[in-house]
A and B are shown apart, each in its own frame.
Chain A
């Protein structure tokens, strides 16, 4: 493969179209259309609400744990919003907002963390793969889905998400290399939120920026302000278009920040300061977008109320769905190991059935 290495390099500064104070940076031609920004706004309001509601449900004991994406809503909403129906999204455990923005029922997504089953939704319904908890492994699956689509002449593009820590895993590198060699229509979005649980980026990588990791594989990289949803929509949208045109994969690094601990079980105070977190509050993606939209006269009171009301309804649905206890069917233990139970699994299922019968009889 021949290409000019310079064309693979990311910009030296992350792409930003709306600054932290909500002012346009001047690249107005690159700004998404108003209706795109309003759609993103409604989804970010819902996403913020989802993060807060899920966090509360953990405190109430309704969810075992929740890895919050508070502060990363712009990345997650943009990742879903730039896709078409025929495309695929490969989320990680922290990408619940992306999955929900794509249309998956939040109650079904959170079945994993409620403990009902590993994946509570049908991945084919919205073309959202099961949330990956092992790091970077799903990136190769994304390449496979994309390659199969390409072999069949379909126009599918795959959006594959991972975090900064996952770029250290071997599968991240194998996925980039395979995608490049096969020109697979994949967009790799790294949400660099500065921490892999407790390990800061400086201990994770000595690269000038994570987006440079594409260069060695012939994959162009780009850096974006991950708290600027306008920039996220534009950069990811371009990458998706490029992939759809058959021009191969792209790596996008979104600079953002994990405002909360890794999960509720984590104590972020052990590895980062309150001042550091406070500095990121002023760069909040939702407030930034709202400031811009209001100043531009795009966000009407009606639209704001509608977005808040929709988020309220979603939160109510979450409380209702997640407060309801279901008893998972014990047959699920044995029914989906193979297409048909083996004789050995039949024996083991009978043993459990017998145990449960005797429990009922007591």
Chain B
């Protein structure tokens, strides 16, 4: 039934949009494709799992905790690995390779420490019941996922587009030297952005972990492929683009699985990616690099 599939698609798309918005923020400000982003996704999910299982926290407390843990790791990785490269004005490829190495290191560490088996949230961690809207059935978990993703996306957009801190972040992204001349501490802003991105990735991990009730260290890898497709389709570094492309991808995957074949759905992200780049090489909201600088 189409309406049901649309609801499922929007909920899935909301998690993709949330994941991608953190990824594209990191790229937009730092100018680096940071491959460790998938690790924050998995770490957020694990931290939330641990806080519900080990500490017995409810999901509304586990979600921000998972996000915060992921954010702190993102700051640590950026400070330890990328600050030096930035100071040396290393080429983008060098940063990409460093984050690739860090990703392999962190995944291996997580797999060794946590094991690779699939974990689940304790039964009843969230029981929102289910709602019927005509023939459409909406699970409480779906409402939570969609609601949380919506709140986080709106909050991030408001911060970046409508606050003084957001103005400073955009200034540092556009021209770090000129921002420094305005008295803005660029290094601090980059840490703030690292934390925000990591925390959003972590929050997405918690929500996706809830949606599929499956958590394991490599869950971020699967998501990164979609994340790439979404941020490129949306236009690198553009928050609105990531939001729209994330929703589109979620809908496309669910509709493909429902009406064509679920084995085809993994092809969709990349078909969408190729088709977008074919007609709009800079993505839906992409701007020419010269104007961005």
A and B assemble together: no
Task: Mark B residues whose CB is within 8 Å of A.
Answer: none
